[in-house]
């Protein structure tokens, strides 16, 4: 667990500090003016010390000329809010069943409480964050997700107000970026009859990165990255290698949907997708501004 000593740099000599900054310079130059989409979730989102690290990293990236965009989840916070009204979250095939009442909770938890916490953290760290949902600027158009039964693909399962993306209009995000703001986006879309939809945050982050032709998509997770069968970190992957690892069972479970979005983004023009260990203090900064791998990078080729 990170402590205040993690932020104490007094043991580093001024010469070493200068060396660290000099090593970051080529990366700062290379990514200056580029868009970075960051999926924020896991421990990084719930541990107070890691929350502060994250906010500082986002502000620093903006200050050195990059354009970070944050897309956040909030599963644990939604479960907590549902428990307060005596409702238990139910899942089908890993997907939250979102009835009318649950959708109302999702909207005020994601678009209200969680989003504003993140906006506040970034602003306190010296940035200028602005919270958005998919409704703002008509950004995320969605439709009801058609989910087929795994055991009987002829059968469709009803998971309520869970959506899939029809289109993303990034003009409101671009306008905010140009005015030096940091967009913080809740994964809520709207349908043709103005109904709200809860959308998987990994999917929103991947699709937004593709639409914006982002330089990087960073997905903060609670794992070290993609591991081989011996438990060693795989620092770099291509879509072809991922297919091989899925076929031989190395990659399975919850990592599959995350990588599906990552591969789509990589194939759609995002130069690199990073699955980053969000439990490591400043992991995002270390992944972008150093040679050291703090996760798995997926290239499009």
DSSP state of 272: E
Which pLDDT tens digits describe the chain residue by residue (301 residues)? 444 444 444 567 888 778 878 888 999 999 999 999 999 987 788 889 999 999 999 999 999 999 999 999 988 899 899 999 998 878 887 778 899 999 999 999 999 999 999 999 999 999 999 999 999 999 999 999 988 887 888 888 888 999 999 999 999 999 998 889 999 999 999 999 999 999 999 899 999 999 999 999 999 988 888 888 888 888 888 888 888 888 888 887 767 777 777 888 888 888 889 988 889 888 888 889 887 777 888 887 6
**Which residue ranges are tagged as binding site?**
74-75, 96, 198
Instruction: Tell me the per-residue pLDDT of 143-199, one tens digit each, with 9 for 90 and over.
Output: 999 888 878 888 888 889 999 999 999 999 999 988 899 999 999 999 999 999 999
Q: What is the reported pLDDT for 219?
A: 92
Segments making up each domain of the chain, as ranges: 31-223
Map residue 236 onto helix, strand or coil: strand
Q: Do the bridges between strand 188-190 and strand 182-186 make them parallel or antiparallel, or are there none, so unpaired?
A: unpaired
Q: Please say whether the beta carbons of 77 and 114 come within 8 A.
A: yes
Separation CA 142–CA 7 (nearest Å): 42
Separation CA 246–CA 28 (nearest Å): 35
Map residue 6 onto helix, strand or coil: helix
Q: Please say whether the beta carbons of 219 and 262 come within 8 A.
A: yes
Q: Please, which residues bridge with residue 218 across strands?
A: 38, 274
DSSP state of 5: G
Q: What pTM was estimated for this model as a whole?
A: 0.90
Separation CA 69–CA 205 (nearest Å): 9
- Would you list the DSSP string of 53-98? HHHHHHHHHHHTT-EEEEEE--HHHHHHHHHHTT----EETTEE-B
Would you tell me the crossing angle of helices 255-267 and 201-211 to the nearest 10 degrees? 10
Token pair recorded at residue 109: 């938890």
Q: Where are the beta strands (DSSP E) in 243-284?
A: 272-277
36 torsion bin: left (phi>0), alpha (psi -120 to 50), beta (else): beta
Which CATH architecture fits 31-223? Answer: 3-Layer(aba) Sandwich (3.40)
**Which residue ranges are tagged as binding site for substrate?**
74-75, 96, 198
E strand or H helix that includes residue 186: strand 182-186
Q: Please say whether the beta carbons of 236 and 296 come within 8 A.
A: yes
Instruction: Tell me the per-residue pLDDT of 105-135, one tens digit each, with 9 for 90 and over.
Output: 999 999 999 999 999 999 999 999 999 999 9
């Amino acid at each position: 667990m990170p402590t205040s000593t993690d932020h104490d740099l007094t043991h580093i000599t001024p010469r070493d500090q200068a060396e660290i900054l000099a090593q970051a310079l080529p990366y700062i130059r290379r990514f200056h003016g580029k868009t970075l989409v960051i999926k924020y979730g896991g421990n990084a989102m719930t541990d107070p010390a890691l929350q502060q690290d994250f906010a500082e990293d986002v502000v620093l990236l903006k200050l050195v000329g990059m354009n970070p965009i944050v897309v956040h989840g909030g599963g644990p916070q939604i479960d907590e809010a549902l428990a307060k009204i005596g409702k238990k979250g139910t899942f089908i095939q890993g997907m939250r069943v979102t009835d009318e009442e649950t959708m109302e909770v999702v909207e005020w938890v994601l678009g209200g409480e969680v989003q504003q916490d993140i906006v506040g953290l970034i602003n306190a760290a010296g940035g200028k964050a602005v919270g958005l949902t998919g409704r703002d600027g008509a950004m995320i158009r969605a439709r009801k997700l058609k989910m087929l039964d795994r055991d009987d693909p002829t059968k469709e399962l009803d998971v309520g107000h869970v959506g899939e993306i029809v289109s993303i209009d990034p003009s409101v995000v671009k306008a905010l970026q140009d005015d030096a703001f940091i967009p913080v986006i809740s994964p809520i879309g709207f349908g043709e009859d103005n109904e709200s939809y809860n959308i998987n945050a990994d999917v929103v982050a991947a699709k937004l990165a593709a639409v914006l032709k982002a330089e990087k998509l960073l997905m903060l997770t609670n794992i070290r990255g993609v591991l081989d069968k011996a438990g060693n970190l795989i620092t770099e992957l291509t879509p072809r290698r991922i297919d091989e690892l899925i076929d031989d069972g190395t990659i399975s479970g919850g990592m599959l949907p995350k990588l599906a979005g990552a591969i789509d983004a990589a194939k759609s023009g995002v130069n690199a997708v990073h699955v980053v260990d969000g439990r490591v203090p400043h992991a995002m900064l270390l992944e972008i501004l150093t040679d050291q791998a703090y996760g798995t990078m997926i290239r499009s080729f």
